[in-house]
Amino acid sequence: DIQMTQSPSTLSASVGDRVTITCRASQSVSRWLTWYQHKPGKAPKVLIYEATTLESGVPSRFSGSGSGTEFTLTISSLQPDDFATYYCQQYNNYWTFGQGTKVEIK
Amino acid sequence: EVQLVESGGGLIQPGGSLRLSCAASGFTVSSNYMGWVRQAPGKGLEWVSVIYRGGGSYYADSVKGRFTVSRDNSKNTLYLEMDTLRAEDTAVYFCARMGSHRDGWDYRYYAVDVWGQGTTVTVSS
């Protein structure tokens, strides 16, 4: 199975900050990568797929980049609603989640 | 309304078996890729199994040979049969419908687009 590693595991930030989360794959997944946002007690929500494509209805402050083995999720200006756990997930060779990055209030 | 409702979770001793069910409404299970995702206490999300439209399946290495995914088209229901359960199988199990996007002439199943509410499985003596 392909392993997905996110960094950092926890990130402390303030409203208005620019936030970047990194996801690395143990082998190339081409551009087949999805980012989710997960809040406690709610279903995870897709933010980005195919590494860079914004899911319909997702605010434009979210963006994704990368290909192959290294990917990033960027939130250009952190909003109060964005404090959550973020997961990457590859879908090039079956499906694998990263271990998650918790974005908490500084 | 599109909905998934899981049932069948509970407390089970190590080595035991359990069957989870997931009743779908608002869409047809057999026309979609369907799967199970779990989240152990304090841990992240983990893909467990997927059943394809054609009936083939995928299993994570951690459950291969112990878990079996199936569906009953007449009941529009997905199942996960779990055998030889271990403490590390303790988790909330979510039923999932997968969404797809075009990739040339093909489709890629890229994410869960409908989640169930989850059912808790606790493996402990």
Mutation target to probe the A interface, by most A beta carbons within 10 A, among B50, B63, B112, B114 is B112
- Residue A33's pLDDT is 98
Q: Which residues of A touch B111 (CB under 8 A)?
A: 34, 36, 46, 49, 89, 91
Average pLDDT, chain A: 97
Average pLDDT over residues A88-93: 97
CB spacing of B110 vs A91 below 8 angstroms: yes
- Give, for A10, the enclosing helix (H) or strand (E): strand A10-13
Backbone angles phi, psi at A69, to 5 degrees: -120, -5
Share of residues in chain A with pLDDT > 90 (%): 97
What is the distance between the alpha carbons of residues A103 and B67, in angstroms, rounded to a whole number? 34
Q: A20-38: per-residue pLDDT in tens?
A: 999 999 999 999 999 999 9
Q: Which residues of A touch B47 (CB under 8 A)?
A: 94-97
User: Dihedral sign, CA of A11, A14, A15, A18?
Assistant: negative
CB spacing of A89 vs B109 below 8 angstroms: no
Q: B74-124: per-residue pLDDT in tens?
A: 999 999 999 999 999 999 999 999 999 999 999 999 999 999 999 999 999
Q: How confident is the model at residue B36 (pLDDT cuts 50, 70, 90)?
A: very high
Preceding omega of A8 cis (within 30 degrees of 0): yes
Q: B38-68: per-residue pLDDT in tens?
A: 999 999 999 999 999 999 999 999 999 999 9
CB spacing of B47 vs A94 below 8 angstroms: yes
**CB–CB of A83/A105 below 8 Å?**
yes
For residue B39, give Cα distances in angstroms to A83, A105, B3, B60, B91: 19, 23, 20, 14, 5
Find, in chain A, the residue whose alpha carbon is nearest to that of B62.
A1
- Residue B25's pLDDT is 98
Does residue A1 register a pLDDT over 90?
A: no
**CB–CB of B90/B41 below 8 Å?**
yes
Find, in chain A, the residue whose alpha carbon is nearest to that of B99.
A46
CB spacing of B58 vs A95 below 8 angstroms: yes
Q: Which residues of B touch A99 (CB under 8 A)?
A: 43-44
